Amino acid sequence: MSSTTRPVWMEKPTALGNAAKGGVLLVIVGLVVFPFLLVVSTSLASRQEITRNGGFVLWPTDPTLSAYTTVLSGGVVSRAVLVSLGVTLVGTVFSLTATVLTAYGLSRRGTWGQRPLLMVVLLTFLFTPGIIPSYLMVKQLGLLNTYASLILPTAISAFNVIIVRGFFQSIPGELIDSARIDGAGEWRILATIVLPLSKAVVAVVGLFYAVGYWNSFFTALLYLSDSDKWPLQLVLRSYVLQGAPLGGLDTGATEALPPQQAIQMAVVVLAIIPILCVYPFVQRHFTKGVLTGAVKG
């Protein structure tokens, strides 16, 4: 190869190459958008359209919000949405605070008990407690049938702690030393220097925690026996997979109710709307956080 020959990836793409890339991207977008469009369209379709199309509608000719009105008027979904929002907000704030404090302590050399605590965090990658020990621990702590059981058992993720710790360690030590010379304590250093430089990784970890709390249903299924305290995902699972009726609906007047498929899809749409609303605001931080450490200067 001549010394003046450039690598293939540095060559200007041809028109055929651009067309192939565009075609592949269109196929990927179609695979992502089609199921979502199918769910939304079915939730807006009438009984006649759903019956005529065999259960799913791609584009409703006479859209109606009767499925959403029926779901929200029953009270069960509305209460479950509030429960999920509360658990997600409180859990995310608590988990993010605990993760940042733990990671900061593990990232500073000379911290008391740093190495033993780091070993404990790393060992959780190898040894998981299992369902039965976790249930017995929650029971012994008196957390059964409480909202705390949805947060405390999964409050800190060892993976997120390691990620945030690595980011904190990449911050130049000269900044920390200069702040200490000026008389700043550890809390002030964390609040005024470390956290402002770590917005990307904090946003990414916060998004991970929020999505995890919002989508979690197994912990509620395991620890909550009172159906009035169920989060949205457990209500969604019970209704969509098991066909359990939503409380507050007059199941005897089936002709007056929207079709079951429309109600199921309406519950699915209500479950994914909050994440779709939050993600655009953290997308740029998410991209930066994911790429952090991928390129070294």
Q: Where are the alpha helices (DSSP H) in 14-64?
A: 15-44, 47-52
**pLDDT mean values, one per 10 residues, the chain (297 residues):** 59 80 90 87 82 78 80 77 90 93 84 78 78 88 89 87 86 82 82 85 87 87 86 79 54 57 81 77 61 47
pTM of the model as a whole:
0.75
Q: Return the amino acid letter for 145.
A: N
Instruction: Quote the pLDDT of residue 27.
Output: 93
Cα–Cα distance measured from residue 282 to residue 207, given in angstroms and rounded to the nearest whole number: 8
User: What local confidence, expressed as pLDDT, does residue 93 receive?
Assistant: 94
CB count in 10 Å sphere of residue 75: 14
Contact 84, 295 (CB under 8 A): no
Which CATH homologous superfamily contains domain 67-291? MetI-like (1.10.3720.10)
Cα-atom radius of gyration of the chain, to the nearest Å? 25
Quote the pLDDT of residue 253: 45
What local confidence, expressed as pLDDT, does residue 297 receive?
44
- Looking at residue 89, its pLDDT comes to 92
Task: Read off the amino acid at residue 188.
Answer: R
Check residue 91 and give its pLDDT: 93
Domain chopping of the chain, boundaries: 8-63, 67-291
Please count the CA atoms within 13 angstroms of the CA of 119 that sit on its side-chain side: 4
C-alpha distances out from residue 212 to 94, 95, 135, Å: 13, 11, 19
pLDDT value of position 77? 77
pLDDT at residue 90, as a whole number: 93
